[in-house]
Structure 1
């Protein structure tokens, strides 16, 4: 028995070894290097001198850093909860369809998710074009004139948030649809026999049973939107990047445009900590609420 136990343990370690090596080489070691680099004044490529906490002191006094933090937080507020609620609402409507109708509607909502960000940028940039964009018709009807949405500061983030929700909502719909299908129809039949209306069924049955999926979607969306970069970087081309800069964009500017690898790594460490803390905290709070 001891020999069999040792053999099973050896096989188990052998099976997890590829994952451990891959995780260590592709994630753990680069993370350690990033943290070490944040304590130096190194350029993007090459060694640098040890400066201790100087980069962190500079970061907390950096106006552009706090601008990037505010813009990222604003973008998260515009996208995470609305994207989740829209995905849930559409999934509930799609779940009522059957056969090819459900497949067709689901494919239509999921199609944007498989598009690369460059295609998404081109589509929406054309639709918002101030000269011939189709969305300028409702904009001019409301505002009285055409508006260059992506060059108007107060409209930039809401417009990018709208594009992001349209682009990524399909994945949330699939997750919610899987959660809705896991609810037994017998529960809804029992509720209908008790003359429960749709709102009561949703509040008492659907919402509590689908809460674990909701917590998962909220956590995934929080992590993704805290790392927003592609859409903001593309839509800001030709405009002023500083007022609309987000954290990953600031890291890119420091490391790849200004060759400040050490300071860029410092901001990257700050973003890494923010993502870890907020995602874990949110997931634990949502899970605790679901267990009540």
Structure 2
């Protein structure tokens, strides 16, 4: 038995060992180096003097960091829950279709997800352009008949980019919800219909509880992704007031690549990393606990 157990441990080590080595080399070791770098006054490339907690005190007291934090938080509010609810609603509608029509509609919603961010930016930048954008007809209805720049007006910037982000990313969420809905047995709905349960009651008593684990997954994925928002905000803010619409990842980019402050950039990255871990774990546990009640 001892020999068999040793063989099992050896086999497990051979199978898991390469993953542990790669994971440690590509994630754990760089993370440790980033944390150590955050305690130094180092440039982007090269060593620096040890300054202890000075970088953290400096970053947390900067007005630009606070602005980046609240802009990121506002973007998360505008995208995470709306994206999840819209994706679920579309998935419910698509799930009722049959045959090639279902596949065609699902492909139409999923197609934007595979587009690179540059294509998404150019497409929507053309649509909302003040001079010839197709969306300006709708904007004029709410602006006294006059066009308005949605990405040069600070209060409208984040809602506009959030709308584009939801349009761009909801295809993947729809697929997840479709997979969850297909795992629900039709016999449950047939039994509910025999008890004279309407569609809303079926949704609240059957669909929503059974699809809740997928909802928790989608919310968690969206929270992590939107906390790391950079590409579309950066592209839409080119030529405008970038500091007014800056996000946390943009703030890190500015410190590292524009101001050559590697230590301070690492400090901001550590703060964002910790924020993502805490919020993701907290949200996941709260949502899972709610689903178990």
Name the TM-score, length of structure 1 as normaliser. Answer: 0.99
State the aligned residue count.
292
Three-state SS of the structure 1 residue aligned to 2:222 is helix
Aligned to 2:98: 98
Shift of 1:60: 1.5
Unaligned runs of 5+ in 2: none
The equivalences for 1:261-280 within 5 A come to 261-280=262-281
| Equivalent in the alignment of 2:48 | 48
Q: Distance in 2 between matches of 1:118 and 1:213?
A: 30
Corresponding residue for 2:2?
2
Q: In the aligned structure 1, how far is the partner of 2:138 from the partner of 2:287?
A: 39
Superposition RMSD in Å: 0.5
Cross-structure match for 1:29 = 29
How much has 1:170 moved relative to structure 2?
0.2
1:172-209 C-alpha deviation (Å, 9 max, x unpaired):
00000000000000000000001101110000000000
Partner of 2:242: 241
**Which secondary structure state, in structure 2, belongs to the residue aligned with residue 149 of structure 1?**
coil
Residue 142 of structure 1 deviates from its aligned partner by 2.2
Take 2:19 and 2:146, find their aligned partners in 1: how far apart are those partners?
Answer: 57
Give unpaired runs (5+ residues) of structure 1: none
Please report how far the alpha carbon of residue 59 of structure 1 lies from its aligned counterpart in structure 2 after TM superposition: 1.1
**Aligned residue in 2 for 1:74:** 74
CA drift of 1:282 comes to 0.3
Counterpart position of 1:177: 178
The residue number in structure 2 matching 1:15 is 15
* 1:286 lines up with 2:291 in the alignment: no
Q: Distance in 1 between matches of 2:157 and 2:79?
A: 13
Deviation, structure 1 residue 155: 0.4
Q: Show structure 1 runs of 4+ deviating over 4 A.
A: none
